[in-house]
Copies of this chain bind each other. A is one copy, B any other.
Amino acid sequence: MTKRIGRQTVAFSKPVVIRAAASTVGKKEGEGPLGQYFDEIAEDSMMGEDSWEKAESCFVAENMALVLKKAGLTHEDIQYVLCGDLLNQCMGTTFGIKDLPIPFLGLFGACSTMGEAMSVGAMLIDGGFAEYVLGGASSHFCAAEKQFRFPLPLGIQRPQSATRTVTGDGAVVLAKEGEGPQITMVTTGKIIDMGITDAQNMGAAMAPAAVDLLLAHFQETVRTPQDYDVIVTGDLGYVGHQLVVELMAKEGYDMSENYTDCGILIFDRETQDTHSGGSGCACSAVTFCGYFYPKLCSGEINRMLFIPTGALLSADSAVLGLTIPAVAHGVVIESGKGSCT
């Protein structure tokens, strides 16, 4: 009953159920093409707080409460909460969940955090350590711009390769038993650094990590892109998505038909002035929870390869002129039977 099927991939002997998913987003995300799919859309992305960081924590707190409610559970039912964000010392997460009395395992995977939470959570459940795990990831456009690029009031122009950090929180309840879409495999990424140093072109920095993950996944599972109804990366945007298609073609894999990216889906490029697309920890988290999860519940999607992607830079590393290492985590999710919440 070995569960390891390759260097980076494990398959679960008994699939782990995604019992519920919830998404709470900011106003601009609510006005985008996926607006109708999100559970909650904040009228004010400040959430009534006096700082962007505290606002992000509100998104976390409200969405965590929502996903528990949707799962019909309370905090007492959950053995571990696994989550993270991109703010310094993950303060969006810490202050968002600090009043939840659940054993806490903090994660840092930058924008790949949702993939890391689902991967580790599924392993903890399949390993026999939990019945239920709460996993999530958050980000906030204003807090992220201030921290990684320029304070918004400066009005700095952004190049066309730049992405816009998604404001919101996405969260799932993973379960050992019950109905819902199932996590059947996870492929865990290595850090890949191809020497990109432009923090306004994160798609280019992260695309090689996504490609490395895809190649490992296909080689280890002896699958091809055509074995999936849809393959979705986290926040590569238009620039990174195109790079992945081109790089995978060179390796002999056709990604031109069923591959998309949460950063492309979440904003309307023409009308929302979002350049290369969406990004941030919440980009993949809310797009999965809001848009893809119901399609996995209904069977409209039968098998999905979900690959949140993360750029492991900091403002300090950017100032030092260092490269942008990246990582990607792959999660295979298959349509569940019966009701979904």
Hey, which bits of chain A sit against chain B, CB under 8 A? 1-4, 7-8, 10, 51, 53-54, 79-80, 84, 86-91, 94-95, 97-110, 116, 119-120, 123-124, 126-130, 147, 188-191, 193, 312-317, 320, 322, 325, 327
Contact = CB atoms under 8 A, between A and B. Distances in A.
Contact of A110 (B89, B107, B325): B89
Nearest to A110: B89
A103 B317 contact: no
What's the number of copies of this chain in the assembled complex? 2
A128 B127 contact: yes
A8 B76 CA distance: 11
Nearest to A320: B51
A147 B1 CA distance: 47
A89 B129 contact: no
Contact of A314 (B1, B7, B80, B89): B89
Given A7-B103, A90-B312, 6 more contacts: A87-B316, A88-B88, A88-B89, A94-B191, A99-B193, A106-B327
A209 to B, nearest CB: 10
A88 B316 contact: yes
A3 B79 CA distance: 13
A104 B189 contact: yes
B190 A102 contact: yes
Contacts of A108: 84, 89-90, 106-108
Contacts of A100: 190-191
A205 B108 CA distance: 23
Contacts of A314: 87-89, 91
Question: Most chain-B CB neighbours within 10 Å: which of A80, A124, A316?
Answer: A316
A13 B84 CA distance: 30
A3 B54 CA distance: 38
A315 B251 CA distance: 45
A248 to B, nearest CB: 20
A99 B191 CA distance: 7
A103 B190 contact: yes
A314 B87 CA distance: 9
A277 to B, nearest CB: 21
Contacts of A2: 128
A2 to B, nearest CB: 7
Contacts of A315: 88
A126 B2 CA distance: 12
A205 to B, nearest CB: 12
Contacts of A87: 314, 316
Contact of A94 (B91, B102, B126, B325): B325
A91 B317 contact: yes
